Amino acid sequence: MNDEDKNQVKFDNAWITVDALILLGCVKCMGTDHEKAIVFHRVVCPESQDVVSITDKDLASALRFMISTATILEEMTRDMMENPNATIDYKVYEDKIYKYGPTFDGMMEDFECTVFGTHYNRRNKEQFIEMLATDGWKYFTIKNLNELFSIMLQSHGT
């Protein structure tokens, strides 16, 4: 495989989409937790489904994106600002995402317990938004996601 083909494979695997930009806005922009919960619901249920399932792949992808945005992407951005002339080795950050997999999984479990509870595997749209807006506040800012990451890192390790 030549270099052009390798670059195309990496590009094809990239997750730069409208959804990613919207989720970035959920953690970086102003707005109430209720507004952000509505927007988050639109991303994970673009057809405005009435029920959100705990096993929904869009839900897992969206939450993992928000976590990695708040942790690894923020670190990468800080590194670029501190040394703007340096060449960025993206593999370093990719390795960190893999390394912190158990911590990310712990944050996913926390999200599931917060939004779905221990005895439910789905919520209707209104319940999902309400639970996320009232108990899920920690998922909508960089600072709160980083604090949760630190807590989960202590209990889940690397």
CA 67 to CA 152: how far, in whole Å?
Answer: 12
> Containing H/E element for 37?
helix 33-44
pLDDT in tens, 108-139: 888 888 888 888 888 999 999 999 898 877 88
CA 155 to CA 25: how far, in whole Å?
Answer: 29
Question: pTM of this prediction?
Answer: 0.76
pLDDT in tens, 44-92: 887 767 888 888 888 888 888 888 888 888 888 888 888 887 788 888 8
CA 44 to CA 31: how far, in whole Å?
Answer: 19
53: helix, strand or coil: strand
